[in-house]
Amino acid sequence: MRLVLTTVSDQGEAPILFMAPDSTLDEQALRYPQFLPDGQTLMFVSWNQDRTVDLVVKKGEYRQVIMHTNPDEFLGSPVFDQSGHILYTRGNGNERNIWAISFDENRLNVTGRPFIVAHEATRPSVSYDGTLVYRSTGVFRFGSPQGLFSSETLRATRLSASYDVNTDGQQFVMVQNLNEDKAMTLTVVQNWYTEFTKTE
């Protein structure tokens, strides 16, 4: 599988190749692109030929691997939060947890050690006011999470992994899969980092 990053103009024209895996860096596929607040730095995940995964930031010609996994370990769905953290999904086998790590968006480097935010959870999304939403079958490790609703509330049998939180923290959009029968739950945590630091 060779996944590339493409761009599409606001006129809806055909996609244009933006970045392709670099074989000299052992890259096989590029996934989960996100621009940082400066609008110039791109964060993405590289799946490598040796079955490892890199979390990468790139600004112009500058390119930095800020996290590297062991072979066959999953890392995906990175998002930058205004609290100065990158949240992401990481795990082995069927276990997935949401982790966070302090990140200096000006120097483009990691400034702390990673810590778990939510167990048995995937696909974090954070609004500008610090509201964290994630898909989970587990619980938030610290603070007081509140399940927003189950997929059955929407008369859908499963919530898709594809969703995002509006910047106002009041709305989100998602894709529904109506053909599967396992219900999932979205969890909302207001001001996730404040809740987390209350217990430190």
Selection from 13-17, 88-92, 138-142 with the highest mean pLDDT: 88-92
- For residue 175, pLDDT over 50 is answered with no
Average predicted confidence (pLDDT) for the chain: 77
C-alpha to C-alpha distances, 43 to 36, 159, 169, 199, nearest whole angstrom = 7, 25, 22, 30
pLDDT in tens, 105-147: 999 999 999 999 988 899 898 887 788 888 876 544 444 445 5
pLDDT for res 127: 81
Q: What angle do CA 56, 133, 33 make, to 5 degrees?
A: 25
Count of H-run helices and E-run strands, the chain: 1, 17
Give dist(CA 32, CA 125) in Å, integer. Answer: 12
pLDDT at position 130 is: 82
pTM > 0.85: no
Element containing residue 177 per DSSP (H, E): strand 172-177
pLDDT of residue 178: 42
The residue extents of the domains of the chain are: 1-72, 74-200
Does residue 97 surpass a pLDDT of 50? yes
> How far is 99 from 122, CA to CA, in rounded Å?
10
Residue 137 in contact with residue 185, Cβ under 8 Å? yes
Complete DSSP assignment for 79-101 = EEETTTEEEEEEESTT--EEEEE
* CA triple 60-70-52, angle to 5 deg: 50
Q: What percent of the chain has pLDDT over 90?
A: 38
Rounded Cα distance between 163 and 82, Å, is 19
Average pLDDT over residues 164-180: 48
Of all helices (H) and strands (E), which one includes residue 33?
Answer: strand 27-35
Q: Which two tokens stand for residue 148?
A: 């927003």
Q: Is the pLDDT of residue 158 over 50?
A: no
Whether 63 has a pLDDT exceeding 80, the answer reads yes
Q: Does pLDDT of 172 surpass 50?
A: no
* Mean pLDDT, residues 54-78 taken together: 95
User: Over 90: is that where the pLDDT of 37 sits?
Assistant: no
Q: How many residues does the chain have?
A: 200
Contact 29, 21 (CB under 8 A): yes
DSSP states along 48-78? ETTS-EEEEEEETTEEEEEEEPPTT-EEEEE
For residue 126, the cross-strand partners are 132
Highest mean pLDDT among 53-62, 134-143, 190-199: 53-62
Q: What's the pLDDT score for residue 198?
A: 59
Average pLDDT (158-181) is: 47
User: How high is the pLDDT of residue 142?
Assistant: 41
Is the pLDDT at 34 greater than 70? The verdict is yes
